[in-house]
Structures are given as C-alpha cells and as structure tokens.
Amino acid sequence: MADQAISVSSISKAYGQVVALSGVDLEVPKGSIVGLVGANGAGKTTLIRMLVGALRPDSGEIRVLGVDPFAHKRQVRSTIGYMPQAPVLYEDLTVLENVTFFGRGHMSESVEQKARSVLEFVDLRDQADRQIRALSGGQRQRASLAATLVHEPQMLFLDEPTAGVDPELRHTFWQRFRRLAESGVTLVVSTHQMDEVVHCDRVAIIRSGTVLANATPSELFSTGGATVRVHRGGDVVEQALRSLSDDLPGLLHNFGLDPRVTRIEVKEPTLEDVVLSMIGREGDHGAK
Amino acid sequence: MGPSRTRAVARRVLKQIRRDRRFMILVVAAPLLLVFFVKTLFDATSIPAAGQERFVVPFGAYIVHFATFILTAIVLVRERVAQTLERMFVNGYRQFEIVGGYLLGYTALATAVSTMVLVALQLLFNLGYDFQRLAESFIVLWLLAVISLSLGILVSNVAQTEGQVIPFIPLVIIPSFLFSGMMVPVDALPGWAQVISRVSPMYYANQVLQDLVAGTSLSSNLGAVMALPIYGILILGAATFTLREHS
C-alpha cells in the first residue's frame, strides 16, 4: 500500500440514468506510467476528474498519496498536476502568461523563471510571448502540458494529452513522460489510441465504466493467443490458439508429419489487436 | 499566498479586459447610450427639471447596476464552461481568491462605468452638482457597481451554462427596477414585493440617492449609506460560499 500512489476501491458514478463508472478498482504504483485505455466515452475522463478531486464519486473510496482528495484537497492539489482533455487555457493570454498564472496557484516565488524553464522542456520557448489563439493544436497541447508541470508535481494526470497531435509530437510527448517517470513522477495518462499502450508500465483497459483488465503490456500481450494457418493440399485450415507456447507443440504434432502440409504460418496479434479485442467493436454504452 | 493569488486573478482579468477592445468600448459606450435614450425620453415630456432629477439619477445608478451585474454573471459562467475554473481550483486557487480577484479586476471597469454615467447625467440633464455632491453620488454608484459584480458572481454560481444564466438576468434586473422605489414608494407595495425590493441592492442605492437629490449629504445619512456595504459583504460572502470547487 505504501508503494501505491493511487488506490481506488469500488468507485461508481452515474449522471442520472447514465452509468459513467461502475465498481472501479485501481492501484497505481509510485513512479510508474499507468495508461487508462478505452474508447471515447468509456469513463476515462470521469475517473481522472475524480482522482484530481474535481468530481465526487457516488460511492467508493479514493486515496491519492495516501489521503482522500476531497477531505484533504489542498494537500493533494499541491502535489498533483492535471492536464484536461482540451487545452484549457486563456486564448487571449500568451503562453508564458498562462503558464505563470496557473503556476501561481501553488507558488509565490520564481514563478516566471520556472515557467520559462518548463517551456523549454516542452520546446515552446520561442512561442512564449505568442497568444494561445495564434498557436497550432500541437503547440496548445504543449502549452497545456507546461501549465501542468510548472509547479513540479509528484503526480501527473494527463487526460488524452496526445489527442489531435501529429505522430512525431506524440513520440516526443511519450519521451517526455518517460523522463518524468524516471525522475520519480507518477503519471496517469488516458488515451484512446491503442498503440500508445506500449509506452505504459501498466495499462487499465476501461469499457462502459468498468475496468476490464489492469496489467503490464507484456501480461496483456500474453493473453492474446495466436492464429495458425495450415496450408494442406489445396486447402487452408485456420486455427486460433489461446496460448502460443502451450498449444503450438500439440498443433505441430498433429500437422507436422502430414505429407500434404506445405506450409504453416503463425500470426501473432499486436498489443493493439489484444486491447481492441478486449474493448470490443460494439463500442461503449452509457458512459461519459 | 492568499493575497498573491487574488492579485494574480485580478491581473489576469485586467489583461483580458485590456486586450478585448471591442468589449471595453461596448461596456463603456452602452451605458452612455442608455443615458442618452433616457434624456431623449424626458425631452419628449413636460416634466420639469427638478422632477426629472428624482428619477434620472437613480436610473443612472440602475444602468450601472445592470451593466456590471451582467458582466460577472456571464464571464464567470464562461470560465466554468471552458473548464478554466476547474483548472484554477486544481492548480491551488481557492474560492475567496477567485471571487476577490474577479472583484478587484472588474472594479476598474465598474469605476469607469460609474464615472461615465455620472458625467453623462451631469452634462445631459444639467444637474449643476458641485464637487461634493458629485463625489457623494459617485460613491453610491461605485458601491452599487461593486455590489452588482458580487451579485453577478452569486447568480453565475447557480448556473452551469451560459444558456442557464440568461433567464436569471431579467429575473434579477427587472424586479430591481420595479420594486426599487424609483417609480412607486416601496411602502405602497404588497409585503412580498417589499421583501423582493430589500433583496435588491437598487433599493438601498435608491434610498440614498433620493436623499442626495433632496439635498441631504452622505455624512448626515450614514445609516442608509452603510446599508450598501453591509449588503455588499453579505452578497460577497454568499458568492464565495456558493462557488463550487467540485461537481
């Protein structure tokens, strides 16, 4: 428990008849990157807003760094950084003014100096004096990230930070997140882009307000099984294996000595395939 | 940390006002235009100047009241809808710092509106007020403007969206005109209407302004004058208390 930065137990939330979260349990180890993965509307934003103390659950218990974020909101808020899904910034202020303003909530000294330093970290130093409305989508996301990092929080809650960001910048973002995790910061990052799962230490897959799986990427990958295509005579026989290491020897035993078999192909799914198969193609129902 | 965060909000609000020139022009020009409309209306009547004064000075105050009330009622809801309010809270700002910062920031604008309206009244209606009477009238208008800002914040706390705040605007603005005592003495109203009149800052402002028009200085009417800041503190407390940090 002491090594857990976040501990969530049986939290639920409904907006009228619409269930946003239902009985969610989650543990986030300190200094790790935990991905909240799910389709739009799965409940990721609701969960993050609860963790930062902006939305109260209907039931259940939340502990952030050992304390209740609603009962001890000052204590929790001084240690966390929150990046909302949209770049929530003042359009008519400059990048530096925005970052400095949000930084002043936690600091009274050297705010501008720290703001300039964090703008360097997100590669926005040259844009410091431009108004937000004059920036591209990617630059706005970076400015929003800077406003999240300026007070050097121990924990970061990033709600779809790479949404609408080009592939190169996404790569840069994840490099930055890894650097922060290596320095001891705990990151909770939501995403609906399945390929980003590989960057996380643990992944919680959310669908319709419930956590379907909470595992490391390799654990998830090992659940994916494989498909084997056996070319025999003029036919192709396709067989799904639940576990490649357990089931493949038996399959080779059955087909390997058959003289009509000309080729055996093994197709392993990508991590993205595994996550997509868990989330399902029918989409989510009823969650925000 | 408290005062520095309040100043940070006030500075930010002022920067935003300064950069939105169209907004600034509208906020100052619209009340002036309304004073001009009132002048046009009275020019079409045969009411003597002395009779006009009892109505137009409080009506000038009423223009200041609704202009400043609408400002904060809408702007703070916009902050909630844009989620910047939520981000401020998560980033450590507290209710009283946000309300205080907004009040400080918009007080500059409220001061400008109060000054312009008073100067327009003096010039258009030939009030002939000396400096002391002008200064005392300004104090009343300014206090009313600051209270109306707080009232706007309070109303914005009830609404979740800009659409929800719109029905509140006439609900506050129209009774504050009808039941302020400007048109009909408050004592002549039924009991429930008298209660509504005492909930509106216009009632207190009108009382003091009627005395000023009649020649009573503020210093000899302190009881009525003090009702305004006391009312303002209560509204400010309610606005701070009802500003929700989480949903």
Structure pTM?
A: 0.84
Bridge-based pairing state of the strands A4-15 and A59-64: antiparallel
Q: Does B244 touch chain A (CB under 8 A)?
A: no
Distance from CA of A250 to the nearest CA of B (A): 57
- Asked if residue A177 and residue A128 are part of one domain, the reply reads yes
> Of all helices (H) and strands (E), which one includes residue B66?
helix B49-81
Confirm whether A278 is domain-assigned. Answer: no
A148 with A156: CB under 8 angstroms?
Answer: yes
For every one of its 247 residues, what pLDDT tens digit does chain B have, with 9 covering 90 and above?
578 899 999 999 999 999 988 888 888 889 999 999 999 998 888 887 777 888 899 999 999 999 999 888 888 888 988 999 999 999 999 999 999 999 999 998 899 999 999 999 999 998 888 899 999 999 999 999 999 999 999 998 888 788 888 888 898 899 999 999 998 999 999 999 999 999 889 999 999 999 998 888 888 888 888 989 999 999 999 999 998 887 7
Residue A288, domain member (yes or no)? no
* B15 in reach of chain A (CB within 8 A): yes
**Pair (A201, A128) in one structural domain:** yes
Cβ contact, residue pair B246, A54, below 8 Å: yes
Residue that is last in its domain, among A153, A186, A216: A216
Residues A202 and A237 in one domain: no
**B21 touching A, CB under 8 A?**
no
Same domain for A72 and A97, yes or no, is yes
pLDDT at B139: 94
Same domain, A59 and A167: yes
Q: Are residues A148 and A231 in the same domain?
A: no
Round to the nearest angstrom and report the end-to-end CA distance of chain B: 25
The proportion of chain A whose per-residue pLDDT surpasses 90, expressed as a percent, equals: 51
- Please report whether residue A287 resides in a domain: no
Residue A244 has pLDDT above 70, yes or no: no
Structure tokens at B197: 């009149």
Full residue range of the structural domain in which residue A176 is found: 4-216
The amino acid that residue B242 corresponds to is: T
Asked whether the ipTM of the predicted complex exceeds the cut of 0.85, the reply is yes
Coil, strand or helix at A223: coil
Q: Please indicate, yes or no, whether residues A260 and A229 belong to a single structural domain of this protein.
A: yes
CATH of residue A155's domain is: 3.40.50.300
pLDDT at B24: 86
Q: Which residues of B touch A84 (CB under 8 A)?
A: 83, 86-87
Has residue A134 been placed in a domain? yes
What is the model's pLDDT at position A167?
86
Same domain? A154 vs A257: no
Residue A81 lies inside a defined structural domain of this protein? yes
Task: Indicate whether A50 belongs to any domain.
Answer: yes
Judging contacts by C-beta atoms under 8 Å, the chain A residues touching residue B4 are 104, 108
Note whether residue A284 is domain-resident. no
Chain A: nearest CA to B91, how far in angstroms? Answer: 5
Indicate the number of domains in chain A: 2
Would you say residue A109 lies in a domain?
yes
Question: Testing the interface with B: which of A49, A88, A109 to mutate, by most B Cβ within 10 A?
Answer: A88
Q: Which of A175, A194, A216 is the last residue of a domain?
A: A216
Chains A & B: contacts with CB separation below 8 Å: 72
